[in-house]
Amino acid sequence: MRGYQIAAIPGDGIGQETLPAAKRVLDVLGGLHGFELSWTDYPWGCAYYAETGAMMPEDGLERLAESDAILLGAVGMPGVPDHVSLWGLLVPIRRQFDQYVSLRPVRPLEGTRRPLRDDSPFDLVVVRENTEGEYSQIGGRMFHGTPNEMAVQEAVFTRRGVERIARYAFQLATERSGRVASATKSNGIFHTMPFWDEVVEQVAAEYPGVELTRYHADALAAHLVLDPGRFDVIVASNLFGDVLSDLTAALAGGIGIAPCGNIDPTRRHPSMFEPIHGSAPDIAGTGAANPIGQVWSAAMMLDHLGEAEAGAHLVAAIERTVRDGLVTADLGGRLSTAEACDALVERLESGA
């Protein structure tokens, strides 16, 4: 039987509920498809920070490096600033393991409530640069507490970083519709965005069969709301990719069902898979959390591990469960997290 070492970080809030649900589903799926997942649980996150003053131990990254993949729940807790949780756990993992691709597929599932009157189908993927760009620690603050207080934040774009995320997006487009939309803001951001445009266009020349269209990020957001079906692969910087992937997820029915993979395409390091939703402390512990985003992220993990058949089986079970209305309250259903997990398992085992 094929075996994989998986690091599981439930994190905070509803991650403590959705990640165990995903583990249960994956263990059932492994039995059906002839592989076994060996789980190592790590109790890291904001609760760990409250106890120790750190989001993870000093040797945390070394321990994670021993795994084949990482499955993350959600991170965040009232009382812990968001920049502390992000830069104490998620960003170090992404950068230490060179997970430079944040891959965020988006398509509506039949049975979900969507905000647009036009419920035409769409199927797109946001390819977000994940290790540099606007998310930088370079900068500082001065004159704290005075009328002259100021803050300076610098973005970092390297040729290597832009080239490799663009190349990933173009290669993905060759396997899809052959269309790439690049998000920019070169009319307002004087240095980094024109550089982004130049490098993306240079990479585009390597893919003559792929059509490149450049959009200012604000206009792209408007086009996505008006007609998401016109887009296929969207490549964007760290900040713009973060914003646009949340927007597209909302158009598909909500961020509660949206998956994400933080991927090292070279496979030298473990990749990390997580839902894009937050820890939702307002419903944590109520049993109402939607496990779909977590489980769909787990399906992406299986694809990355080479278990594509199992991943497709799981996605099909998700689609059937949502279509049948066996979902949690945020999708208009009545089930608890555990009951939605039961429904997924039932569909996996029955093959219906």
Residue-wise pLDDT tens digits, 143-180: 999 999 999 999 999 999 999 999 999 999 999 999 99
Instruction: Look at residue 10 and tell me whether its pLDDT is greater than 70.
Output: yes
Q: Is 351 left (phi over 0), alpha (psi -120 to 50) or beta?
A: left
Sequence-distant (≥ 6) Cβ neighbours of residue 253 within 8 angstroms: 108, 109, 112, 113, 114, 331
Q: How much is the pTM?
A: 0.94
The whole-angstrom separation of Cα 162 and Cα 181 is 14
Sequence-distant (≥ 6) Cβ neighbours of residue 165 within 8 angstroms: 100, 101, 127, 128, 129, 130, 235
User: Phi and psi dihedrals of 249, rounded to 5?
Assistant: -60, -40
Question: How many residues does the structure list for the chain?
Answer: 352
Instruction: Look at residue 227 and tell me whether its pLDDT is greater than 70.
Output: yes
Q: Which residue has the tokens 């970080």?
A: 9
Please compute Rg for the chain using Cα positions. 20
What pLDDT is stored for residue 114 in this prediction?
Answer: 86
pLDDT, average across residues 167-194: 97
pLDDT band at 329 (very low <50, low <70, confident <90, very high): low
Instruction: Look at residue 112 and tell me whether its pLDDT is greater than 90.
Output: no
pLDDT, average across residues 25-33: 96
Strands, sheet with 101-106, edge to edge from the N-terminal-most edge strand: 35-41, 2-11, 69-74, 271-275, 259-263, 101-106, 124-129, 233-236, 179-184, 211-216
What pLDDT is stored for residue 165 in this prediction?
Answer: 98
Output the DSSP codes for 219-264: HHHHHHHH-GGG-SEEEE-HHHHHHHHHHHHHHTT-GGG-EEEEE-
Burial of 156 (0-12, 13-18, 19+ CB in 10 A): middle
Lowest mean pLDDT among 100-104, 157-161, 252-256: 252-256
pLDDT, average across residues 63-92: 95
CB 240 within 8 A of CB 217: yes
The whole-angstrom separation of Cα 180 and Cα 126 is 10
